[in-house]
Amino acid sequence: MKRFFIGLACLLLVFGAAQAQTAKSSAVKRIYSVDFSITMRDLFLAAKTQDDRSIPADKAILLDGDIGTITVHQDTDKNFIAEVELLNGTWVGEDQVDLYRTYVIFEGLQFRSWFSPQSQTKLKPGQTVLILASYEGIGQDYDEKTLVPIVKALDIRHIY
């Protein structure tokens, strides 16, 4: 009987430790399937043609660009939401640049430090960033005429 209780206690300790380790690692570790082929030009064309069937909704996309406007919509102890205009473009000849814009939604307290005035990592207009995001759809710009792609940030990194 004594062996049974000792064995049961050891078994519970092993399962408890494994469960605690799984719970701890799942909060930190995030794995995404990423489609590296989608560019800001692809998002621009999807919005322009109002046909976003080629943009994967079930995979993350990786976007690089320069920060345009920054708007913090909500900043409370429990919620944080900011919107960033991400800009990119390609040269057409030597005189013209085709500009591509995407609105990136940053939702969650994990992004607060990127927008805090006291932060060393605060985003500023003109900075170049790399953003891992999920495609949310096509929305209207503030002029209520222009269609723009909307993505939700999953992670971000300064490039320069």
Same-domain pairing of 68 and 83: yes
Same-domain pairing of 76 and 96: yes
CA dist., res. 73 & res. 59, Å (int): 26
CA dist., res. 72 & res. 47, Å (int): 24
Same-domain pairing of 150 and 102: yes
Place of tokens 């999920």: 134
Question: What stretches of the chain adopt beta strand conformation (E)?
Answer: 34-35, 60-75, 80-92, 96-107, 128-140, 147-158
Are the C-beta atoms of 153 and 85 separated by less than 8 Å? Answer: no
Task: Please name which of 102, 88, 85, 5 lies closest in space to residue 47, comparing C-alpha atoms.
Answer: 102
How many independent structural domains does the chain possess?
A: 2
Each residue's pLDDT tens digit, 37-88: 999 999 999 999 999 999 998 999 999 999 999 999 999 999 999 999 999 9
Same-domain pairing of 46 and 93: yes
Same-domain pairing of 48 and 104: yes
What CATH number is given to the structural domain containing 67? Answer: 2.40.50.140
Is the pLDDT reported for residue 17 higher than 50?
no
Same-domain pairing of 97 and 25: no
pTM exceeds 0.85: no
- Domain coverage including residue 49: 34-158
Same-domain pairing of 82 and 3: no
